[in-house]
Amino acid sequence: MSAGTVYEALSVETLPERLKDVPALASKVGSDSAAWDVKEVGDGNLNLVFIVTGPEGKAIVKQALPYVRLVGDSWPLPLYRAYFEYHALTRQAARAPGAVPEIYHFDEAQALIVMEFLSPHVILRRKLIAGERVDGLAEFLGTYCARTAFRGSELSMASPDKKADVALFAGNVEIPAITEALVFTDPYYNAEMNHHTDELEPVISQLRSDIALKVKVQQALQRFVSNTETMVHGDLHSGSIMSTDTDSRVIDPEFAQYGPLGFDIGMMCANFLMAYFSQPAHRGNDLADYQEWILGVIADICATFEAEFRALWATERTGILYPAALFEDQGHDSTPACDAVLADLWRDAWTVCGIEMHRRCLSLAHNADFEEIEDIALRARLEARNLMMGADLIHKADTLADASAVCAIARDFNGKDVL
């Protein structure tokens, strides 16, 4: 059942011997470990990821590393994040059935999760760079975000269960600390690990001298660190989504914590907006069509989210917040209450969206959408549009009517050169 009680990183060579006695793995791939083919495919920053192929099937073995891979062993990270990933995956599976990979086995000492091999799924970010479409993507993501947000909150959960869960995830300290620094703070000053395209200097200088902007960003950080409204995925970008042409799943929730209801959908929309702004470097004749498809996905994600959230409000409002005793039972429509919750949620979401658009061009961890653009002048021009729209969203987060308004702003910046 165990691969040892002292942590040791797996390798392609040692994995079969060390995991051959894990029944949940053997039952998926076949019990003859000598026949297993093992490939290491991790392209993230924090983990080893192995595909184990045996005579009877395939499985994923994901193991946390004790340091940030991108930086090396100079940045140690606790292995206990696998424990939080495991707990997050079980909660996501319960709250949004079918949305995350199935878990076969968890080994806390080895910081190791054996889980479903998704095939032929690939990382969504690769598909967006390649100009591929995914049927049902917006419906899947909007539903996932609404269900995990609503069902992880005291709109739905019993308060003792929710408080126990907040206490559990409050132990996830170092991983959310990455978000606190790299997402919310580093982009807005000359932090040590930052890097950016040189040509962006004038835009960056404008952002970093905008005190009102920095205040709004830090207010969002205050809510991120202290507002335990629901369990958030915490890192829901297009590298945390895997898709075929018709099916999608959400992966990699090691940044999970209790946080604001609008956090995940805001960060996710930012990643679609960055895909949108980067397209002129990746597309030919189909540019306009594909960019409009991306904006359509954003609009549909948000519309699906609203519809699902309102449906859950009507049918699953079993927590202590906005109880039927105060509204429906008195003959009082609770729609104004739901409107108020959603207004705050979208304010948080669009603020986080703008911040994510900034940090992916200014802080440590950039994304391939822009990074793979070899023409530096073009990259800078596209990144600048993205940065300026991010600031616009942060300033207007309180007053945006809906996702269509956001898409209109994107079209506007897409046609305008700020450098």
Which of 94, 215, 288, 378 lies at the binding interface for a copy of itself (CB under 8 A)? 215
Omega of the bond leading into 120 within 30 degrees of 0 (cis): yes
Question: Which of 13-21, 277-285, 325-333, 365-373 is the region at the interface with a copy of itself (rule: CB under 8 A)?
Answer: 325-333
Report the nearest approach of a copy of itself to the CB of residue 397 (Å): 14
Fill in the DSSP letter of residue 183.
I
Angle at 405 between CA 153 and CA 300, to 5 degrees: 55
What is the per-residue binding string for a copy of itself in 25-44, x denoting contact by CB under 8 A? Answer: --------------------
DSSP H or E run through 248: strand 248-250
Question: Which of 1-9, 59-67, 218-226, 310-318 is the region at the interface with a copy of itself (rule: CB under 8 A)?
Answer: 218-226
CA 208, CA 65: separation in Å to the nearest integer? 34
Number of residues this chain uses to bind a copy of itself (CB under 8 A): 52
CA 277, CA 35: separation in Å to the nearest integer? 46
What is the per-residue binding string for a copy of itself in 112-151, x denoting contact by CB under 8 A? Answer: ----------------------------------------
Q: In this structure, what token pair is assigned to residue 230?
A: 């629901």
Would you say 338 or 410 has its CB closer to a copy of itself? 338
Our finding on whether 193 is near a copy of itself (CB under 8 A) is: no
Q: How far is CA 164 from CA 85, 146, 158, 253, 321, in A?
A: 17, 22, 10, 19, 17
Would you say 167 or 377 has its CB closer to a copy of itself? 167
CA 404, CA 295: separation in Å to the nearest integer? 9
Angle between helices 137-151 and 287-315 (to 10 degrees): 30
Our finding on whether 377 is near a copy of itself (CB under 8 A) is: no
Our finding on whether 333 is near a copy of itself (CB under 8 A) is: yes
Report the nearest approach of a copy of itself to the CB of residue 178 (Å): 12
HSE value, Cβ hemisphere, 13 Å, CA-based, for 260: 27
Q: How far is CA 394 from CA 177, 213, 391, 399, in A?
A: 22, 7, 5, 10
Our finding on whether 170 is near a copy of itself (CB under 8 A) is: yes
Question: Which of 2-10, 98-106, 322-330, 371-379 is the region at the interface with a copy of itself (rule: CB under 8 A)?
Answer: 322-330
Would you say 30 or 66 has its CB closer to a copy of itself? 66
Q: In this structure, what token pair is assigned to residue 93?
A: 């599976």
Which of 94, 193, 320, 408 lies at the binding interface for a copy of itself (CB under 8 A)? 320
Report the nearest approach of a copy of itself to the CB of residue 142 (Å): 22
Report the nearest approach of a copy of itself to the CB of residue 213 (Å): 10
Q: How far is CA 377 from CA 191, 197, 283, 382, 419, in A?
A: 24, 9, 17, 9, 10
Which of 106, 322, 346, 370 lies at the binding interface for a copy of itself (CB under 8 A)? 322
What is the per-residue binding string for a copy of itself in 254-293, x denoting contact by CB under 8 A? Answer: ----x-----------------------------------
Q: In this structure, what token pair is assigned to residue 231?
A: 């369990």
Report the nearest approach of a copy of itself to the CB of residue 72 (Å): 23
CA 233, CA 244: separation in Å to the nearest integer? 21
Report the nearest approach of a copy of itself to the CB of residue 332 (Å): 5
CA 50, CA 37: separation in Å to the nearest integer? 10
Our finding on whether 310 is near a copy of itself (CB under 8 A) is: no
Query: How far separated are the first and last CA of the chain, in Å rounded?
Result: 58
Which of 85, 154, 254, 392 lies at the binding interface for a copy of itself (CB under 8 A)? 154
What is the per-residue binding string for a copy of itself in 224-243, x denoting contact by CB under 8 A? Answer: -xxxxx--------------
Task: Give the 3-state DSSP-derived string for 28-89, with helices as H, strands as E and coil as C.
Answer: HHCCCHHHCEEEECCCCCCEEEEEEEECCEEEEEEEECCEECCCEEEEECCCCHHHHHHHHH
| Chain positions contacting a copy of itself, by CB under 8 A | 153-154, 159-160, 162-164, 166-168, 170-171, 173, 177, 180-181, 185, 188-189, 191, 208-209, 211-212, 214-215, 218-219, 221-222, 225-229, 258, 320-323, 325-327, 329-330, 332-333, 336-337, 340-341, 344
